Chain A
Amino acid sequence: MNLQDEVLLPVGREAVFQALNDPEILKASIPGCEELIKHSDTELEATVVVKFGPVKASFGSNVELDPSLGPEKFSLSGSGDAGVAGFAKGGAQVDLTEQEGGTLLSYEVNIDIGGKLAQVGGRLIEGTTKRLAKKFFANFEEALVNRHT
């Protein structure tokens, strides 16, 4: 599954870029994030609870950040395992463009979901994932604005 969208954030590019690398902000932004452990600057481990229709799944996830092309670009990849409920893997490509009034964040997310989640929640996955992505950036914006105002 492939998702694309963009969001205009009312802060400068460098601030956005820093926030994308900040475990505290990420933890506050990821919907259902119960735990986020930073193993290094680029390696994170997260526990995320997501509900797809009738299936509630707790993902143990490993995420790798790639800030090497910052602050213009930022990418991450990861995989999550929810045991018998299924698994997810994928990545996100983020472009940050300076604009009047802030920074335009455009993202492209690729996610593959498998296991029982895909079976039972098949028809719900796309909608749920889109909703979660929107929620993430809404939370992200809120956390960012709180920090910079």
Chain B
Amino acid sequence: MSVEAKTLEERQAALKGLGTSRKRVEDARFTQGKGNYVDDLKMPDMLFGDFVRSQHAHAYVKSIDTTEAMALPGVIAVLTAADLEPLNLHWMPTLAGDKQMVLADGKVLFQGQEVAFVIAEDRYIAADAVDLVKVEYEELPVLVDPFKAELPDAPILREDIADQKEGAHGPRRHPNHIFTWEQGDKAATESILESAAVVAEETVYYHRTHPCPLETCGAVASMDKVNGKLTLWGTFQAPHVVRTVASMLSGIAEHNIRVVSPDIGGGFGNKVGVYPGYICAIVASIVTGKPVKWVEDRMENLTSTAFARDYWMQGKIAATAEGKITGLWCHTTADHGAFDACADPTKYPAGFMSICTGSYDIPTAYLAVDGIYTNKAPGGVAYRCSFRVTEAAYFIERMIEVLAIKLDMDAAELRRINFIKKEQFPYQSALGWEYDSGDYHTAWDKALKAVDYPALREEQAARVEEFKAGKTRKLMGIGLSHFTEIVGAGPVKNCDILGMGMFDSCEIRIHPTGSAIARLGTISQGQGHATTFAQILASEIGISADDITIEEGDTDTAPYGLGTYGSRSTPVAGAATAMAGRKIRAKAQMIAAYMLEVHDNDVEWEVDRFVVKGAPERFKTMKEIAFASYTQAIPGIEPGLEAVSYYDPPNMTYPFGAYIAVMDIDVDTGVTEIRQFYALDDCGTRINPMIIEGQVHGGLTEALAIALGQEIAYDELGNVKTGSLMDFFIPTSWETPNYVTDFTETPSPHHPIGAKGVGESPNVGGVPAFSNAINDAFRAFGSTHTNMPHDHWRIWKTANDLGLHA
């Protein structure tokens, strides 16, 4: 038979397992317009919901008149908070231990807040009816600056909890204060700052932005009143958690709720939370007995669903005169908007911001984060990053640059002398994390060599001279970034969302003819899970990835899991997949031994088969074993070949990377050009290099967007100034440079296959690389730090402030 004739290498290659650049199996349907997104769902009698939203950032709602809207033919109902109150659904819990209005209950707290929900026969009638709902407001003073939140004349936003001195994360000192979260040793850090030879200080603002997925958020709820079953399709990054929350809120038993995430057109953290639209669609379907669809438009997405970042990070970094860092201090003012709806593990109100010591061996550190309410949209999600990890990475990578300026030292060298050394892993950080593995010096040296770093610095110095001599109007910036992420949340002992431990799961069924289906608790939003998880499994069980179906997102069939965000799919569900595969293999070993008439321990695994030790011609392939499991009566072994694994990771994983951006800046126009971008990623074991490269390209482009222009900006009245794609920057191929990608491979010691996760690394490391390049361009002219986003106007302004236009 041809199978036997194949060499070991050929058999290995045929599996298309770990390390194979296998083409994405999803792309056949995505590239042919055959994806199935929530808005593609069409059902008989389906109704459509649309929101009346607040024009004001802060106002009392005096009255809502729905008479005219109800009179419009085709309008079924208009829901207000008064309608939801008897069901106790006018407010809903947030993921951060706060509560949020589903529909305005007496007041509105941000522009775009949901005030009433119109249900109509089609979406056009619904939109027309929205215009006919008359809402009378009484305007209130608006708070947009978190630093003014606790001034004596500050308006009190959350009157519902104004008197509560204790919040979900400890004491509250003011009605507009949400929490203070402290990590590390304050006294020791301050004492080091006092006695240090050098202390550099800077306030680094990571501006408010938005994940802005291509597909906006939406849901279809369908209540089957005959069978008492509710089905909810939607853009959910965590469908199982949505089912549990929906059950707890609605009182419908969890087995009577089915949540389905169909194809999702990008999530980036935006689709983790629970939004009023989901609740209203469910209520509307229960009330009408018909399916109800709600899909937000682009402006609604940008102005009302979860934003990202908005951290004001005040930093102090202490070092010896030679540049050895001795201490790090950080106080962050976190603007959370009107409701604390951050999507973080319960015990971490500022996510993993405490990874802010970065890639460096910093013996002493202190971090405090103050969460503040303002009249802005709620959120604070991890936009293509693990919880607050981009904020942390941006902070430390800017502070390193600021310290380098203070020390008059090369920033690459400063990093090198402070890196955690390879032999220090597992490394215990001053803020409480145990870094699993890393080899920063090797990655850094490889990166510097790849771009010929010394030559770049020489060129830059020459450029400064030319500029001063009036020979050029362009400056050159070299943006260095060495980031360490913390992903794969996480160990159940300290990571949960709404009490649900952050494990994940995989269930595998091997079919009689030797193909398989595996279902996971995660959900792909473009990451390519159907491709990569099949590869993990292929290597574990010796069945070609092409013969394995991966299914996710239907809570009636998939095992319970916490979903996909924070680069947790590969670290957690990927581990569950490998572990479930090993259970399959363990049973297969017994079956093979029975078939070969030897003892269990006398057979060993070899790529796709069990072989009798010492007799390689005697073997049973996984295909043969699978068939036998369904066709033979094997004493002491149950028929069939299935396994389930629920994986509780022992630790997070810590991917890292070295990025270098080289940019030219026209000081007269502020226009930037990315000359070169080199990205080295170490994500541990590499499952599919082509998917990794694709993820890195996508993440770098989002990083480019954030660093160079993308923001959610508010004016003093609380108007969102960047509420459409006219003003909210999304890079196209025009702005996107060619990226050079590279890698080192330092496996995670605790992950079953050593993989660490990569989807978010390029955003985490890319933002500081771009921002450092812009800031570095002005270093020679006395500038220490300028805030993002570095759009053309702000760069021009920096040049102007430095007198470069004179």
Chain A residues close to B by CB (< 8 Å): 83-84, 86-87, 112-116, 118-120, 122-123
Contact = CB atoms under 8 A, between A and B. Distances in A.
Contact of A119 (B56, B134, B719): B719
Contacts of B55: 84, 86-87, 114-116
Contacts of B52: 84
Interface string B723-761: 110110000000000000000000000000000000000
Interface residues of B, number: 22
Contact of B303 (A112, A113, A119): A119
B451 interface: no
B703 to A, nearest CB: 25
B726 A114 contact: no
A84 B719 contact: no
A117 to B, nearest CB: 9
A114 B718 CA distance: 8
Interface string B282-322: 00000000000000000100010000000000000000000
A115 B137 CA distance: 13
Given A84-B55, A87-B55, A118 B299 contact: no
A82 to B, nearest CB: 9
A112 B717 contact: yes
Contacts of B299: 116, 119-120
Contacts of B724: 119-120
Contacts of B721: 118-119, 122
Given A83-B131, A84-B130, A114-B56, A120 B723 contact: yes
Nearest to B718: A114
Contacts of A87: 55-56
A13 B665 CA distance: 55
B726 to A, nearest CB: 7
Contact of A114 (B134, B719, B727): B719
B111 interface: yes
8 contacts: A84-B52, A84-B53, A84-B130, A114-B56, A114-B717, A115-B56, A122-B715, A122-B723
Contacts of A122: 715, 719, 721-723, 727
Contact of A118 (B130, B134, B719, B726): B719
B324 to A, nearest CB: 48
Nearest to B131: A84
B720 interface: yes
B696 to A, nearest CB: 33
A122 B111 CA distance: 14
A119 B130 contact: no
Contact of B715 (A83, A84, A118, A120): A118
A123 B726 CA distance: 10
A87 B55 CA distance: 8
- Most chain A beta carbons < 10 A, residue from B111, B134, B719, B721: B719
Contacts of A120: 299, 723-724, 726
Contacts of B720: 118-119
A117 B57 CA distance: 14
Q: Helix, strand, loop or mixed for chain B's interface?
A: loop
Contacts of B303: 119
Contacts of A116: 55, 299, 723
Interface string B26-59: 0000000000000000000000000011011100
Contact of B717 (A83, A84, A118, A123): A118
A83 B136 CA distance: 10
Contacts of B56: 87, 114-115
Q: Nearest 3 A-B pairs (CB), nearest first? A: A115-B55, A119-B723, A118-B719
Contacts of B111: 114-115, 119
B313 to A, nearest CB: 28
Nearest to A82: B55
Contacts of B57: 114
A114 B57 CA distance: 9
Contacts of A113: 719
A122 to B, nearest CB: 5
A118 B303 CA distance: 12
Contacts of A112: 717
Contacts of B718: 114
A25 B631 CA distance: 96
Nearest to A89: B139
A54 to B, nearest CB: 9
Contacts of B727: 122-123
B472 to A, nearest CB: 32
Contacts of A114: 55-57, 111, 717-719
A115 B722 CA distance: 12
Contacts of A119: 111, 299, 303, 719-721, 723-724
Interface string B56-86: 1100000000000000000000000000000
Given A87-B56, A119-B111, 20 more contacts: A83-B131, A83-B134, A84-B52, A84-B131, A114-B55, A114-B111, A114-B717, A114-B718, A115-B56, A115-B719, A118-B719, A118-B721, A119-B299, A119-B721, A120-B299, A120-B724, A120-B726, A122-B722, A122-B727, A123-B726
A49 to B, nearest CB: 15
B242 to A, nearest CB: 29
Contacts of A123: 726-727
Nearest to A53: B726
A34 B131 CA distance: 20
A98 to B, nearest CB: 38
Contacts of B53: 84
A21 to B, nearest CB: 29
Contacts of A86: 55
B469 to A, nearest CB: 38
Nearest to A86: B55
Contacts of B723: 116, 119-120, 122
Nearest to B130: A84
A119 B56 CA distance: 12
Contacts of A83: 131, 134
Highest count of chain A CB atoms <10 Å: which of B55, B717, B721, B726: B55
A83 B724 CA distance: 19
